Amino acid sequence: MNPLDASALLNDLKWTADGLVPAIVQDVETKDVLMMAWMDETAVRHTLRTGQTHFYSRSRRAAWHKGETSGHVQHVESVAVDCDGDVLLVGVRQVGGACHEGYRSCFFRRVNADGRLEVIAEPVFRAEDVYGPGVAKG
């Protein structure tokens, strides 16, 4: 994706009261949903300028570049906006895993017939090797 000027997009988005917009990240080839994260104005600008995803962490109250620690970056191929202008769909080429727990997608569990969570994928990396011991488990 070539660097883009974010001004027009920023004006068209409907932001939350906290100045954020949800971004759903989807693999451009498989169409798998890899993750959902929040973007603020700066994250949108950086994503469009650099061609890699940037987000805003509500828990840490800080900006983050996806893959900065792990090397598992997301190369942006497309950005779409939903009909209400309040959700972004970011098409990416994922390097490694998107999930901090070591899976390709953050959606590696499904609810089975008895209401319990069932792991439906294999990890693509060891989270402890990338982030150290004590990585929070979901």
Structural domains in the chain, CATH included, are 7-95 (3.10.20.810)
Instruction: Give me the torsion for CA of 41, 52, 89, 61, rounded to 10°.
Output: -40
Tell me: the pLDDT tens digits for 24-83?
999 999 999 999 999 999 999 999 999 999 999 999 999 999 999 899 999 999 999 999
Q: What is the pTM of this model?
A: 0.89
Non-local CB neighbours of 11 within 8 Å, separated by 6+ positions: none
Tell me: the pLDDT tens digits for 101-121?
999 999 999 999 999 999 999
Determine the pLDDT at residue 138: 44
CA-based nearest residue to 59, from 38, 87, 86, 36: 38
